[in-house]
Amino acid sequence: MILKDGRQAVAEGIRLPQGRADHAPDYFVTESLAALRDLVVGKTVTLKTLMPDEDRYGRLRAQITADGKWVQGEMLAEGLARVSLSPARTECSTALYGLEEKARVAKAGLWASQDYAVRTPDKLWHDLGTFQVVEGKVLNASVHGGRAYLNFGADWRTDFTVTIAPDDMKSFRKEHIDPRDYAGKFVRVRGFLDWQNGPEIATANPEGIEQPQNKKPELAPGPSVALPMKC
């Protein structure tokens, strides 16, 4: 988003559809951008930023409201974006995840497509290099050389693994979370699928590991989505 004073801003905490880069149709890109334009172009926007407040390109990283509507919330509620938390910015994670879950249950927007379906650990081979949401049961978890490994299969050489780098372990220690305690739990993670002894997603903070609840969210999003006060 290009502001009137020439600065540029990005909506922190969400990822818009990327078409072919997602192994998905391009029409989701068109629909998502059109909705974003309707929300912000010509509107009075308020940017709420935290440190670090700029990305590597000098763009403001902000929670954005446009004429009172929370832009990230509106995009998620319509199923036109997915939550994507950066390592250093995890504000509003609970609200963001909740809105995404409502849209997913309602099969709104991109969630109606199998191309954006939540993946299971045994069906990731064709998704390498793409941003995916994966959920399943952690079979075992360990820490070696300061790096944590959450294994979703019996063979760590080929099965799906979530890793936490040594530098990122401090985020877990700060919240008194031992990654080994995820063993036996059903979790949902997201990120770019890499290959390292099988499909792998690296996560940088506890907010990147969801533990889905059995209770389904209410589906009615209301006429508009407001930025929560705690964000």
Query: Is the CB of residue 210 less than 8 Å from the CB of residue 70?
Result: no
Domain-by-domain residue ranges, the chain? 9-114, 117-210
Q: Minimal CA–CA distance to 204: which of 171, 227, 182?
A: 171
* Chain segment 98-138, per-residue pLDDT in tens: 999 999 999 999 999 999 999 999 989 999 999 999 999 99
**Mean pLDDT of all residues in 180-184:** 98
User: Which range scores top for mean pLDDT: 51-55, 164-168, 220-224?
Assistant: 164-168
Architecture of domain 117-210: Beta Barrel (2.40)
Q: How high is the pLDDT of residue 231? A: 81
Compute the chain's Rg from CA coordinates.
18
Asked whether this chain's domains 9-114 and 117-210 adopt the same fold, the reply is yes
Q: What is the full DSSP assignment across 102-127?
A: HHHHTT-GGGGSGGGPPB-TTS-GGG
113 contact partners, CB below 8 Å, separation of at least 6: 24, 25, 28
Confidence of residue 168 (pLDDT cuts 50, 70, 90): very high
Q: What is the pLDDT of residues 64-90, one digit of tens each?
A: 999 999 999 999 999 999 999 999 899
In the three-class reduction of DSSP (H, G, I as helix; E, B as strand; rest coil), residue 15 is classed as strand
Q: Which CATH class is domain 9-114?
A: mainly beta
Res. 16 pLDDT band, cuts 50 70 90: very high
Is a pLDDT exceeding 70 seen at residue 214? Answer: no
Q: Looking at residues 144-168, what average pLDDT do you find?
A: 96
Task: Report CA-CA distances (Å) from 108 to 37, 80, 114, 143.
Answer: 19, 8, 12, 39
Using DSSP, state whether 177 is helix, strand or coil. Answer: coil
Q: What's the whole-number mean pLDDT along residues 148-154?
A: 96
pTM, two decimal places: 0.93
Residues in the chain, how many? 231
Judged by DSSP in three states, 24 sits in: coil
Confidence of residue 157 (pLDDT cuts 50, 70, 90): confident
pLDDT band at 220 (very low <50, low <70, confident <90, very high): low
